[in-house]
Structure 1
Amino acid sequence: MESNQNTYTISIYTENNIGLLNRISAIFQRRHINIESLNTSISEIEDVSRFTIVVKLEEDRIKKIVGQIEKQVEVIKAYYHTDEETIYQESCMFKLKSDLLFEEREIQNIIKESNARIVTVNKEFFVLEKSGKRNEIEQLYRDFSVYGIMQFVRSGRIAVTKEEMKISQMLTAFN
């Protein structure tokens, strides 16, 4: 059975209300849809929050999901876009033992080749930050795993669309 699933980035502009995240995630849960990535932040519009959710679905299902999301009272507007329609990144941080930085020449090469950035160094550990595509971060994780990772964290996707989104004009028209 061949799947027509694509990766979609859903952008949801909302009022910032308690409980909305639970209601939005329940929309996915009821339909047995796995959320690949979720990020919330302020948006370019004052007093408006933005959810960025990544899912793998068929296009007809993503349209239905976005429609259900827009029925939530606090949701101002929801959009979905393909990877080709967006510019996106993820960020991560690695905590590794400091002696690796000084005793393992390959660690320095990995850092340099991956364009990771050293955030802090002390006697016990050092912390690296890397922003990029998920596959770049996963490769860096595999490279460092050989040496032992003390801690690792990765953000959800953050994304902007290549085309202009008319959300600002739409909100101005409401006021």
Structure 2
Amino acid sequence: MENQEQLFTISIYTENNIGLLNRISAIFQRRHVNIESINGSASEIEEVSKWTILVNMTEENMKKIIGQIEKQVEVIKAYYHSDEETIYQESCLFKIKSDLLFEEPQIQNIIKESNARIVTVNKEFFVLEKSGRRSEVDLLYRELSAHGILQFNRSGRIAVTKEPMEISKMLEALNS
């Protein structure tokens, strides 16, 4: 399994410094690895940022990249996980013509069946929000595309691990 490509979710805990994202993305670029998605946010630890990156590669290469990422001074710790080890979601927004909502009963069925949520409605358009697995978002996109999508935007993956992560204990030890 080590030499077979698979999706990995990378969690990188960092200080929030200018230029770090460029250096980390260059690590992937040098190895010709495409980043499927990237999301940056605050983490569960005060003043520590967390980046969640989704990549498709072999585990052997993943281990090498994690080692290179952790050499960056501002990186506190980096982890990688398979899909089976994480709970993950994506979010997206769809902007669609309002008349479809009222004149096309199939649209209302699509919304209900997909567990999407209407965020706003006005005369010209309405906006749907959907959170879920990539396959769920892709399915909703295909179903709505047949009726016309004015705008579409999707987030990067957000994820938490099923097992506890040791980052908080590690930081407590560093601060002691």
TM tier, shorter chain?
Answer: over 0.9
Distance 2:138 2:101 in 1: 20
When normalised by structure 1's length, the TM-score is 0.98
Distance 1:31 1:63 in 2: 13
Distance 2:66 2:35 in 1: 14
Pairing 1:103–2:103 present? yes
Distance 1:20 1:51 in 2: 11
> What SS is found at the alignment partner of 2:69?
helix
What does residue range 29-40 of structure 1 map to in structure 2 within 5 Å? 29-40=29-40
Distance 1:6 1:85 in 2: 13
**What is the deviation of 1:4?**
0.7
Distance 2:16 2:126 in 1: 36
Q: Which residue of 2 aligns with 1:70?
A: 70
Runs of at least 4 residues off by over 4 Å: none
**5+ residue gaps, structure 1:** none
Distance 1:70 1:51 in 2: 13
Q: Which residue of 1 aligns with 2:45?
A: 45
Q: CA RMSD in A?
A: 0.6
CA offset digits 1:115-172 (Å, max 9, x no partner): 0000000000000000000000000000000111000000000000000001001001
Q: Which residue of 1 aligns with 2:126?
A: 126
When normalised by structure 2's length, the TM-score is 0.97
> What SS is found at the alignment partner of 1:174?
helix
> What SS is found at the alignment partner of 2:47?
coil
**What is the deviation of 1:39?**
0.3
> What SS is found at the alignment partner of 1:28?
helix
**What is the deviation of 1:71?**
0.3
Aligned length: 173
Distance 2:135 2:169 in 1: 35
**5+ residue gaps, structure 2:** none
